A and B are shown apart, each in its own frame.
Chain A
Amino acid sequence: MPSRHKSLVLLAGVILLQVLLLAVQIKRDSQGRLIRSWTVGAVSPFERAGSYVFGSFRDTWRNYFALRGTKKDNDDLRRENDALKLRLAQLEGKAAEADRLGALLHFRQSQADVPMVAARVIGGSADPGSQTIELDRGEHDGIRKDMGVITPDGVVGKIIETYPNTSQVLLLTDNHSGVGAMLADSRIQSPVGGVGEPLITMKYVPNDDDVSVGARVVTSGMDRIFPRDLPVGTITEIKPGNPFKQIRIKPAANLERLEEVLVLLTHHPLKQSDSAAAQPAPVAANPAPVANP
């Protein structure tokens, strides 16, 4: 190496040593000693690069090679998930049924001296214009034609046909249906009937009578089918008519979602129950079947 180059190398080395000497002594407030800052700055790119390379390998391994059995696991988990969904739906159905049965049992216990039989709805009407349902109980269970059908929420309809093991119910909303009713507060009596729609009508209330929206309608017992004071529904709309008011009532029982009902085997008046006869229950609270005493 030429002498001039030697001295240049020596110069560079001596200056570098002194710069390092300075860096060891200098302390920046935010970053500590300069030598530490430089060291970190010099090393961190390699650390980052190493971390990137290692991370790439790791991700490649985790996302590709380690996933060889994932499809099988995925299929197994999917099958298990489907089974669990089905099981969950079954349990939810059973829970809802238990709620309904609990409400029905409570109602039945509050009317222990009234003969009634619980029945499960097993079918509906084949005619869309006909509002009927079919029960899994019939003549062998003591059910006869024109017997009343209720839920803890209110009147459902009446038996129109009986068979040895099944029976058919004409719902309150059917065109041909009717029940003797009265306003719970004013005791104004008037039959209530269906018009083939979800709402039923109260037919013969004179325009002079004072009736208000929200008034409760109960059975009057005059039809000799239903005992007196069973909930029928709540008035939702009142229009003046000629010669009678046009009153529309929302049925107390949820007639569109019936699963279990009670068939009254007597016409004796029911006791007023805090949860059943006096107050219509919420629509969602469906009744449940109870064993016949």
Chain B
Amino acid sequence: MNGAFDLRIGESHIEVHKFRTGAILLSALFALVIQAWFPLHFTRAALLDLPLLVTIYFGLSRRNPSTGLLLGMVIGLMQDSLTPTVPLGLYGIAKTIIGYLASSIGARLDTEHPAARFALTAGFFIVHQAVVALTRRTLLAQPEPWLTLHFFGAALLNALVAVFLFILLDRLRRQS
């Protein structure tokens, strides 16, 4: 688990990163706490989905689909647990899929560049919200607004925050 190693796919050269012990767990918990606490004092903060950003970051960095989807599942289920009005599994399913996609894409693309991170995070946010909306409509029979201006604003905001958050999280990587 120490250091980083290279993953070669074709002619590309993708680096798989390792993190300090407990870094992933602590980051996830910290994101959940902030997510639960922050909107109480700053209403606009409800637009942020920090657990999603953490899922995306570790998925892109670890580049292992199995690990990524399991991490997404755990973070999603914990997010569901902290929201009494949401049944367990709603965000779990969405973040499982995001974890898997982020890990799969991270294994094929260089995701270290801020622009790539911005674009990928925006895309993952849209997919995440799409899965949540689909789950709400099909399983919960709840009409969920979808593709609104508010929604696109949230996607851009999360993508922007992700660029800076990911730089902070890069500091948790073990140096190779």
Contact = CB atoms under 8 A, between A and B. Distances in A.
Interface of A: 4, 6-8, 10-11, 14-15, 18-19, 21-23, 25-26, 28, 34
Which has the most chain B C-beta neighbours within 10 Å: A6, A10, A18? A18
Interface stretch (B10-18, B29-37, B40-48, B82-90): B82-90
A259 B92 CA distance: 100
Contact of A19 (B64, B77, B93): B93
B139 A18 contact: no
B139 A34 contact: yes
6 cross-chain pairs, A with B, having the tightest CB-CB distances, nearest first: A7-B65, A18-B89, A22-B89, A25-B87, A21-B89, A7-B66
Which has the most chain B C-beta neighbours within 10 Å: A10, A22, A25, A28? A22
Chain A contact surface mostly = helix
Interface in B31-77: 64-66, 69-70, 73, 77
Contacts, number: 57
Interface in B84-104: 87-90, 92-93, 96-97, 100, 103-104
A26 B87 CA distance: 7
Nearest to B73: A14
Given A7-B65, A7-B66, 13 more contacts: A7-B104, A11-B65, A11-B97, A14-B69, A14-B96, A15-B93, A15-B97, A18-B73, A18-B93, A21-B88, A22-B89, A22-B90, A22-B140
Which has the most chain A C-beta neighbours within 10 Å: B89, B92, B141? B89
Contacts of A34: 139
Nearest to B96: A14
B27 interface: no
Contacts of B103: 7
A10 to B, nearest CB: 5
Contacts of B141: 28
B88 A14 contact: no
Contacts of A8: 65
Contacts of A23: 139
Nearest to B107: A4
A34 B77 CA distance: 19
Contacts of B77: 18
A15 B92 CA distance: 8
Contacts of A10: 65-66, 69-70
Contacts of B66: 6-7, 10
Nearest to B65: A7
B87 A7 contact: no
A4 B92 CA distance: 21
A34 B140 CA distance: 9
Contacts of B87: 21-22, 25-26
Contacts of A19: 89, 93, 139
A18 B65 contact: no
A234 to B, nearest CB: 83
A22 B86 CA distance: 10
